[in-house]
Amino acid sequence: IKDKRLLLIDDSIVRGTQLGETTQFLYDSGAKEVHIRTGCPPIMFGCEYLNFSRSTSEMELITRRTINELEGYEVTDRKILEEYADPDSEKYKLMVKKIGEKLNFTSLSYLRLDDMLDSVGIDKSKLCTCCWNGKK
């Protein structure tokens, strides 16, 4: 690794296991910094239509595990989860910071849901956003 600073772009962080292992490999190979950028917002809810995450429980999602750690209990209240899904909230910022620390990233940034939806060019009422904000 020449520069010793790496920027990784990934489509999503579901459970955190794969990217965590990749990051450790990069550090073991000489990287001094690993900055992560994702192509979608944090996945907060299980998908009702696809089983892309292979999760048997929403508690396997790194976001939900992190929220539970921050709150000190298993959070199921939609209002609290919506606060964590809002990229302008302090809870969201704290969650992202904690995920980055847990996975040993130098920095972590997710694509905002509103920016992602704007980039698609399809009427928002025709898109499912349930796994990101819990809204069908």
Quote the pLDDT of residue 56: 65
As beta bridge partners, residue 107 has 35
- Nearest of 98, 51, 47, 52 to residue 72 by alpha carbon: 98
Model confidence at 49: pLDDT above 90: no
Mean pLDDT score, 88-99:
97
Q: Give the pTM.
A: 0.87
CB neighbour list of residue 14: distance below 8 Å, 6 or more residues apart? 43, 52, 53, 55, 61, 62
The whole-angstrom separation of Cα 45 and Cα 64 is 8
Burial of residue 27 (CB within 10 Å: 0-12, 13-18, 19+) is middle
Q: Which of 6-15, 28-37, 93-102, 110-119 has the highest mean pLDDT?
A: 93-102
Asked if 15 contacts 59 with a C-beta cutoff of 8 angstroms, the reply is: no
CA distance 116 to 129: 11
What is the arithmetic mean of pLDDT over 115-122?
89
SS3 65: helix
Q: Which residues pair with 109 in a beta bridge?
A: 37
Which of 108 and 13 is assigned the larger pLDDT? 108
Q: Count CB-CB contacts under 10 A for residue 34.
A: 23
Q: Mean pLDDT over residues 36-65, rounded?
A: 81
Q: What is the pLDDT of residue 79?
A: 93
The pLDDT of residue 71: 97
Amino acid sitting at position 126: K
